[in-house]
Chains A and B, each alone.
Chain A
């Protein structure tokens, strides 16, 4: 059984290696861009929510926490309607292309990055902020110190956001359409191979996905350990 599995996986790589590397590249590209955009939006918003106290903050946080469990297929549907020919952004004519897949995944990753960043920052806010001030920091310098102190939590948010984007299938399927050589990513390939009964391929793709996640999180953890000292 194991040998069988290995040989079919090997076969799969030999037969469709070129296509596979395209799929892997697109997956990383789409989810990577989504997470970068999500971080650019989510970390400042999270910092704001973690550092400031204002009326409506609690409600806003609750909304963001709720959006953390936004079903991917619903996010996909919303983006689909937005970019469909008759939708408000239909004139762009980019439905079923990678950029729209990025938009859909941004919708999934941003709430997680925002929520985990704000929680991490709020946890450090009081003591780290005051300590920086006692040593002579301005408000802005103290806030920056708090963000640096919260980096582990922020990175956890980025990793979780990436995991959510990289592993989801509903949104990219809807707005990407799983078009071969164009919008097919790892997860949609798994669905396809499973439907066609190629379980070995599906499993092999799944393993590749997990392996890549492992590599990405290892890189991010390395950053936590060294870069932001």
Chain B
């Protein structure tokens, strides 16, 4: 059994004394696609933000590749963070060109010159926005914005891709495109993907495993086939049948 990519042990996150996440034990393996499900306020974004070190847990340990990320030194943390990329729930593009947005993560990792240009172009063509390099990022449509956000995250070839509702408020074609891109990047690089979604069909289409969060706790984690056809928990059953009252 290889060691998990992530392991969360007794992780608790409180805001102003209110517990919003309490994960006893959660293991995430390499090369998999996980769908994170759960009602609004369940703690899904908080979980991803903890993994990306945007927040610190109130207590407990988060282990990434065998290293406790919250006890590691500043430079070790930065090195680990640079193996991941996250697309935030509120996508924010920098107020520059599309090209500069995609180049940023690469530049942070020391990529320069011709290699930089090649990788930016590759990422833009990957999301079908080859001609968009010189466009102002803030003038793009919602769907284009999401594609740039994805391009900028995958451009650095991360080991972990954290996607917080990347297809919320997109039209069906754009949703299909983003899903296709996520699947393709996963297949070609083996990147581990954690994708938060409210779209249960999307979870079934994309993920190997589904994780249900409810009131800050992991209720069920199972391969999607089992999760959707034979859930072990009552809460999961109610959640997927849509009768759960939020």
Distance in Å from the Cβ of B172 to the closest Cβ of chain A?
27
Chain A's closest residue to B93 (CB) is A131
Of B94-102, B139-147, B185-193, B215-223, the stretch lying at the interface with chain A is B94-102
Chain B interface, DSSP helix/strand/loop, else mixed: mixed
Contact with A along B83-104 (1 / 0, CB 8 A): 0111110101011110010001
Q: Which residues of A contact B167 (CB under 8 A)?
A: none
Distance in Å from the Cβ of B136 to the closest Cβ of chain A?
10
A128 proximal to B (CB < 8 A)? yes
Q: Interface of B with A (CB < 8 Å)?
A: 52-54, 74, 78, 81-82, 84-88, 90, 92, 94-97, 100, 104-105, 108-109, 152-153, 156, 162
* A134 pairs with B87, CB closer than 8 A: yes
Chain A's closest residue to B108 (CB) is A136
* A127 pairs with B90, CB closer than 8 A: yes
- With an 8 Å Cβ cutoff, the count of chain A residues facing the other chain is 17
Q: Which residues of B contact A149 (CB under 8 A)?
A: 94-95
Cα(A131)–Cα(B153), bound, Å:
10
* A135 pairs with B100, CB closer than 8 A: no
* B105 pairs with A136, CB closer than 8 A: yes
Q: Interface of A with B (CB < 8 Å)?
A: 127-128, 130-138, 141, 145, 148-149, 152, 229
Residue from B78, B92, B104, B152 with most neighbouring chain A CB atoms (10 Å) = B92
Query: 15 A–B contact pairs at CB < 8 A?
Result: A127-B90, A133-B54, A134-B84, A134-B86, A134-B87, A134-B88, A134-B162, A135-B105, A135-B153, A136-B78, A136-B82, A136-B105, A136-B109, A138-B78, A141-B108
Further pairs besides A130-B92, A133-B54, A135-B156: 17, Cβ < 8 Å? A127-B88, A130-B88, A132-B104, A133-B53, A134-B52, A134-B85, A134-B153, A135-B108, A136-B81, A136-B82, A136-B105, A136-B109, A138-B78, A149-B95, A152-B95, A229-B96, A229-B97
Chain B's closest residue to A133 (CB) is B54
Cα(A131)–Cα(B84), bound, Å:
13
With A136-B109, A136-B156, A138-B78 as given contacts, are A131 and B94 in contact (CB-CB < 8 Å)?
Answer: yes
Chain B's closest residue to A228 (CB) is B96
Q: Which residues of B contact A135 (CB under 8 A)?
A: 85, 104-105, 108, 152-153, 156
Residue from A128, A138, A141, A148 with most neighbouring chain B CB atoms (10 Å) = A138
Cα(A149)–Cα(B92), bound, Å:
11
Cα(A229)–Cα(B133), bound, Å:
14
